[in-house]
Every structure is written in C-alpha cells, then in structure tokens.
Structure 1
C-alpha cells in the first residue's frame, strides 16, 4: 500500500518539525514537505501532490481558510485538509469547514491521535465522531441563520432513506452506529453514504454534515 503523503503548513517552525518527527515515525505515513504559510502550502501542494495537508488557521499572509478553499475548490481536487488549531472551538474553524476542510485537530494532540486523524481524513471518512467535533458542528450550525434554498433544492435528489442517513452523518454517527440504529448492514450504510456524496457532489462526510445543517435538514438541537 502506498504511504499517505502529508504536507504540514504552519508558521511556527517548532510545530512543523515536531509534527514531521511524529508522523515520519508512523508506518504508512510520509511527510513530503513543510510550508510556512497558506500561499506556500498552495504552491507546494501543486508540486508535491500530498494526500493530506495539516493546515494551521492563523498564519501571516494567506491564512489557512483561504488556502484551504484554494486547495479543495478545483474540480477533482483529491487533497484533504486537516485544520490545526490551538482551541477546540476556535471561531475560525467554522469557516474552515465551510471552506472545505475535512476536520480539525488540536495542536496538543498525541502522536497516536495525530496519526489516526491523518489516516481517517486520507480515506475520506472525516473527523466527526469525537465529542468535541460534535460540539463544533453544533456550534457551526448555530451560525447558519437561515437554510440556503439552492442547497435544499439539491437535496431533493436524495431518497427518503438517504436523507435519513445524511441527517445521522451530520450528528457525527459512524457507519456502524447508523447501521445499528437503522437495523441494516454496515455495508448498506456505506452504499448510502457513497450515493449521497455522489448525488450532492460532496467530497466527504464533513461536507455532508455542513450541507445538512445549511439546508436545514438537521437542526442543532437534535435529530
């Protein structure tokens, strides 16, 4: 199996070097480069073609949010962006998710947590299970004042069961948890998730969750 290629973008050299040492020690993961700011990350990603970019939000010059948008917006963009933040409810994380980030990770994460996050994001599964991320998504949803009609129209292509699965994804449930709740096989849930992402032209589960909240299909207070 090919190693997961990682680019680390942070204006603090200690963070870049520390994460590089931790990730290079993990089997199946290779740090292919470091970037000092958002513009550097976008430029280096074009040449290095990483699978995952660890992106700090607050950097001088081009920040992490705009850099994330530039990396993920082009049609067919395969790179996943994992946001690095100091605070678990950093206000900028909401905008980063909207810009296309696949999840977020605290800078004080352990080596095991860091490696797990990279592997999860690289597979397109996104980081929605941890309680702190559920809280983040809920707070993000509160910032969405009114459902966006064009997005709701797009949701009309989903079947009733796909809409139900989308709502559960938005609440941070894993495929196994959704399967147990709906009393179906986990493979059936995986099939539904794949069809949802394809029909809505979404990249991963994080985008699906944001979509669900922005369309009003899911409310912050519950299912």
Structure 2
C-alpha cells in the first residue's frame, strides 16, 4: 500500500497529534478527550480502507495537522512533539523488522478491542491494557522514547498508562506513514509540498 503526499501528511498529523497529547498529559495530567478518542481508536483500525478511515475523518486529527504545519513553517513552535515523533519513527523501523512482535501486538489489540467495544476507547481499563501492551513490546525497542513532564503526574499509574497508550497510537500513525511511502528525507526535500498538503487538509476542517 502506498499513497501520495496528502496521505503521508495525514499520517504525520496523526503522529504529531499523539506526541502533542503525550506532552500535555505528562505536563498537566489531562488532554482533549475528543483528540484522545480519535488517536486511541486509530490503534484498532488495522485494516482501514484508506488513511483517512484510520482516524475516522481528517477532522479528528485537525490538532495534529495544525501542529505539523507549525513545525514545517517554524515560527517558534514547540519542538518537543516533533522530537518525540522522530524517535517514534525510528522505533517503528525496528518494530516493522520484527514480525513476531508485530503479530503479538496485532493479536493483543484484537483482544483489547472487545473491551473497547464494551467500555469505550478512553476507558481506564482499555488505556491500561494498551499501556501494558506498549510496555511489554514497543518499549523494549531502541531508541527508547523518553517522556519528560511533571513528576507528580508521571508518578501516577493511570497517567503513565494513558501516555503509553497514546504512544502506541503514535506508532500506529508511524506505521501508516511508512505504508504510504514516507521517508525521513521527505521532511527535508519535500517540506514545501508537505506544508501545502497540510494547509489543504486544514482548509477542509470545520
């Protein structure tokens, strides 16, 4: 499966939505529930028909698309979400090279999906199980994804679980980025085209 620059930009928007939320959760213990719902639900859409279907609609990653555009255009944007995203892209390369781990993650997500259907995607039980899955699989890969924030929140198990679940959502978007033909050098050599694609998506948002 491959896509054009618009598909790749949408995937990066999903990734940056996740990493911006990780920063927010780690800093103040909470984030926008609609954005969190969209990101967590993307984890369970492994066989979506299109990149947009992974998120339900482009509207649901509007936050991430705006963060991406800020990063591409500069202008004093917080660099932390982009740094986290870059690390997740590196981790995804190692994850995609391990078929056994990929099978385990897919199988566990299918099992957790039954709880998602019963409780909802952002229920603490669902986030805890996704967090455990991330901890037992993705967090063993290098480079480690290091999250900085308020120690008072980072000491709370439910906050840590939410962060890990959101990082798993970020990995889902990184996988989509690669499937759509994304490459590291795109951010350097296709920066202008990516920024225009992000603007085009944002113009469609309500």
Q: TM-score, normalised by structure 1?
A: 0.28
Could you say which structure has the higher helix fraction?
A: 2
Could you say which structure has the higher strand fraction?
A: 1
Larger Rg: 1
